[in-house]
């Protein structure tokens, strides 16, 4: 993409309304624009990142055997009366009346709707287990929308729901999701610590919040110092190998057990010197809800004996749009964003230091075409503006690699290559550039 054809409305000044770094950089890098409190329009650069995150989430859900569906944003309130949650949600729920005076709402989550879909089609244990998910916009009329996309009112969430014949089988679905989350976040290049959240309805350890550590996180958390160094990369466990899955999750649970009540050091069993105080952002939440929706919404399935019995479920959320801000919180410096490679909006930024100079234009055009032919997504800054502005912009946008071509280097047939993360620069022969990427 040529920068001159593209649309990245970068800002030089820090917007006053942005309190935290991710919000500032998202606005300054022209990734999104606020359209109402807590509601944003995604501009091309921001949308690219959002889609990359969404796709990683999707691929990892699919690998874990979850099936994608797409439920609407608007739901009939009736379903929520069945589950009894319409009042529980209170003012966070945006209620709407249609022209026939029917009560509708903009969905804050989808347990009721997925239960309704499930009960319409699935009657037998033979069709279980099932994990269904979608990636859809949600609306919660938050009291204090703030920090940009981190706490919006409209936000993109992946929510999955599992259906099993027994609590024991439901635990396997839970473990699959737990492992899928570890893999999802590892692929994004971020470290999210699974912290045991409040215990589920039947006890056990079936509720975890995935916390991305960062100094601007909304909640104060205490983590065992071993977590700081722990490599989160998931092991080669197969989702079909129930035993290995159980073993992997038990291994994690041992660490949770050691870090029980990690949110509150006063009641924590770990010696204070082994705790690190930090802040965190919740980017995902998984929990087991037992037969709650099966019971409240009168959804039954047949077991092996032909008896009608409840099913057991869990729900599994990831804040897809929150992650865009969360990742920036975890990965930036004073010049701008530093995207992990897997979610960077472009692979490489190409800077032409002297647009209009025949040699520079030609060298840039060649490199641009060669990289594209090699399947790389390149942002070519071909604008006729000062070098300082181009460098600053490219650093702000945070692509993992920059290639700088100017008249001086061209005399020796070299370009400068910069790694955004390490800041390391080196000269590379023009003929070798493509083979590096």
Interface residues toward ligand ATP, by CB under 6 A: 109, 140, 142, 151-152, 155, 157, 282-285, 317, 319, 321-322
What is the rounded distance in angstroms from the CA atom of residue 165 to the CA atom of residue 163? 7
What is the rounded distance in angstroms from the CA atom of residue 208 to the CA atom of residue 199? 9
Nearest to 257 by CA among 201, 194, 169, 183: 194
* CA dihedral angle for residue 202, residue 283, residue 215, residue 345, rounded to 10 degrees: 170
* Nearer to ligand ATP (CB atom), residue 111 or residue 164: 111
* Nearer to ligand ATP (CB atom), residue 30 or residue 152: 152
* Nearer to ligand ATP (CB atom), residue 28 or residue 140: 140
Contact indicator for 80, 107 with CB cutoff of 8 Å: no
Closest distance to ligand ATP from the beta carbon of 209 (Å): 7
With residues binned 3-state (H G I as helix, E B as strand, rest as coil), the percentages for the chain, rounded to 5, are 40, 30, 35
Closest distance to ligand ATP from the beta carbon of 358 (Å): 49
* Nearer to ligand ATP (CB atom), residue 152 or residue 310: 152
Q: Which residue is nearest to ligand ATP (CB)?
A: 319
* Nearer to ligand ATP (CB atom), residue 176 or residue 285: 285
Those residues whose C-beta lies under 8 Å from the C-beta of residue 213, and which sit 6 or more positions away, are: 191, 193, 221, 223, 278, 279, 280, 330
Closest distance to ligand ATP from the beta carbon of 261 (Å): 18
Closest distance to ligand ATP from the beta carbon of 144 (Å): 10
Closest distance to ligand ATP from the beta carbon of 398 (Å): 21
* Nearer to ligand ATP (CB atom), residue 59 or residue 218: 218
Nearest to 318 by CA among 308, 327, 331, 329: 327
Closest distance to ligand ATP from the beta carbon of 68 (Å): 17
* Nearer to ligand ATP (CB atom), residue 3 or residue 151: 151
- Count the residues in the chain: 437
Closest distance to ligand ATP from the beta carbon of 287 (Å): 8
* Nearer to ligand ATP (CB atom), residue 154 or residue 395: 154
Closest distance to ligand ATP from the beta carbon of 218 (Å): 7
398: three-class secondary structure by DSSP: coil
Closest distance to ligand ATP from the beta carbon of 44 (Å): 21
75 φ/ψ sector (left φ>0, alpha ψ -120 to 50, else beta): beta
What is the rounded distance in angstroms from the CA atom of residue 62 to the CA atom of residue 132? 10
User: What are the counts of helices (DSSP H) followed by strands (DSSP E) for the chain?
Assistant: 14, 22
* Nearer to ligand ATP (CB atom), residue 152 or residue 406: 152
Residue 423 burial (C-beta neighbours within 10 Å; 0-12, 13-18, 19+) = exposed
What is the rounded distance in angstroms from the CA atom of residue 52 to the CA atom of residue 330? 17
Closest distance to ligand ATP from the beta carbon of 271 (Å): 29
What is the rounded distance in angstroms from the CA atom of residue 32 to the CA atom of residue 10? 10
Those residues whose C-beta lies under 8 Å from the C-beta of residue 336, and which sit 6 or more positions away, are: 25, 28, 29, 395, 396, 397, 398
* Nearer to ligand ATP (CB atom), residue 92 or residue 307: 92
**Token reading at 203:** 């006890």
**Max CA separation in the chain (angstroms):** 82
Q: What angle, rounded to 10 degrees, do the helices at 320-330 and 44-63 form?
A: 110
């Amino acid at each position: 993409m040529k920068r001159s054809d593209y649309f990245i409305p970068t800002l030089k000044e820090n917007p006053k309304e942005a309190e935290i770094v991710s919000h500032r950089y998202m606005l300054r890098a022209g990734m999104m624009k606020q359209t109402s409190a807590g509601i944003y329009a995604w501009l091309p650069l921001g949308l690219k990142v959002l889609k990359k995150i969404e796709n990683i989430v999707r691929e990892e859900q699919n690998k874990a055997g979850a099936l994608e569906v797409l439920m609407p944003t608007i739901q009939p309130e009736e379903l929520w009366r069945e589950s009894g949650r319409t009042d529980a949600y209170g003012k966070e729920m945006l209620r709407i009346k249609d022209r026939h005076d029917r009560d509708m709402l903009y969905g804050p989550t989808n347990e009721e709707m997925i239960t309704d879909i499930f009960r319409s089609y699935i009657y037998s244990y033979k069709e279980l287990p099932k994990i269904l998910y979608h990636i859809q916009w949600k609306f919660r009329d938050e009291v204090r929308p703030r920090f940009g996309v981190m706490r919006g009112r409209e936000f993109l969430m992946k929510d999955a729901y599992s259906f099993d014949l027994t609590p024991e089988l439901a635990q396997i679905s839970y473990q699959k999701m737990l492992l899928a989350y570890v893999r999802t976040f590892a692929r994004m290049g971020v470290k999210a610590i699974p912290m045991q959240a409040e215990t589920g309805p039947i006890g056990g350890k079936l509720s975890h919040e995935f916390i991305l550590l960062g100094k601007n996180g909304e909640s104060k958390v205490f983590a065992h110092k071993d977590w700081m160094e722990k490599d989160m990369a998931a092991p080669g466990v197969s989702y079909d190998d129930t035993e290995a899955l159980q073993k992997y999750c038990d291994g994690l649970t041992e660490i949770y057990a050691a870090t029980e009540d990690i949110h509150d050091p006063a009641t924590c069993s770990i010696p204070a010197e082994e705790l690190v105080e930090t802040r965190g952002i919740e980017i995902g939440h998984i929990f087991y809800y037992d037969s709650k929706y099966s019971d409240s919404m009168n959804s039954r399935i047949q077991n092996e004996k032909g008896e009608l019995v409840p099913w057991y479920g869990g729900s599994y959320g990831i804040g897809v749009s929150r992650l865009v801000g969360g990742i920036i919180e975890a990965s930036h410096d004073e010049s701008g964003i530093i995207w992990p490679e897997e979610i960077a909006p472009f692979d490489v930024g190409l800077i032409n230091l002297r647009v209009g100079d025949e040699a520079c234009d030609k060298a840039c055009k060649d490199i641009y075409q060669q990289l594209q032919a090699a399947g790389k997504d390149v942002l070519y800054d071909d604008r006729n503006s000062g070098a300082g502005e181009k460098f600053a912009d490219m650093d702000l946008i945070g692509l993992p690699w920059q290639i700088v071509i100017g008249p001086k280097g061209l005399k020796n047939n070299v370009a400068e290559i910069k790694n955004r993360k390490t800041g390391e620069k080196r000269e590379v022969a023009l003929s070798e550039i493509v083979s590096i990427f």
